Chain A
């Protein structure tokens, strides 16, 4: 079963992964965006871990909601509201339960991903974080490892796509051939979930 401490661990593993991969995220972003994705996410997840160390909520839902609120307040750009909404909505969907199982978390993340799709007006195939999140949440019903693998595969599959949302969309055809930085960071988040569960 997954409790508040597990969710805190997920967030701190994510922060470490984002910190480790910040330069790669920024390089991907400089090809089709504006070269700030790594620095922005690192700033956000660093403050998430700081806040969670100071006050640890009692429930898994409250941990994710607090993390999401923190991302909205610190990341900026499109990533702040999008990642913030993902975690906040997932946290709210978990409710007051003190422990949840993997299937319940998959459902909650599904609600978060739906909120992200609505906020950004994006769908599968638009070359966004959704291309990693949608298959990952579906695979999470099977196992944590499957979710991480599905997210990685989804991020890789954005390479040949033409961006239809966000700053990369302004490049039109020139966005083809580059991996989407948002899908890549979403894969880091799902990889961290598998690592926290291992």
Chain B
């Protein structure tokens, strides 16, 4: 948001002028007021479903019908009942999977970005293009093959096969290179090479340069890539659903789906409670990191 205010500075001066010179009275009503009306309508549309789900989560034993009168009753019963449904196991699974994936993605992506940024080797240019091409076939399209691969792997490395969290993490790590590498590659290039050269003269190995100098300099991009990776694997449903089979192993996405799958019998209050618990940390994280995420959006991760 800071960059934005900097850019709009001339406009701001104009604003004050406008305000002083009378965007008031009738003209204010005509030119500005309706914007607040639009805002109010949009905010109601945006917030109502959220209020609805929060209200439903507080409504004990709530069915779909029972959840319609907002905030009629307030009780923490649903949140207490989440335990029996195994929700906390799902949340734990999601946290483990997403954290490990995020860390792995950052480490492997950064290493690759370092190699592309600092070393000149045969096939470097081709490697960069190849990376882009490899990402052209998204993993979501290959889920049948991923399923079959993991089915076979189960015989050799049971820990990497179907219905294993590690197996799912490995699948996600397959996407560690690619967009992330490009994001980091650009950032790595902005770290002056003189730093490496100086360190090298002092006798530092490439490993020392990478771990103690470069990685420290690029910490912001590492955090952004890590969080984007966390959020995207947290939101993944398709691959998690294909890979994980026993309820104990489900992630939040698969688990919550199972709760709400059949509307007639769905424990709606329970689902809502789970949804609130799962969404709140992500929303907070998002709000906190808004400007990084917004910046990262233009680099490729898309929703909507």
Our verdict on whether A and B bind, yes or no, reads no
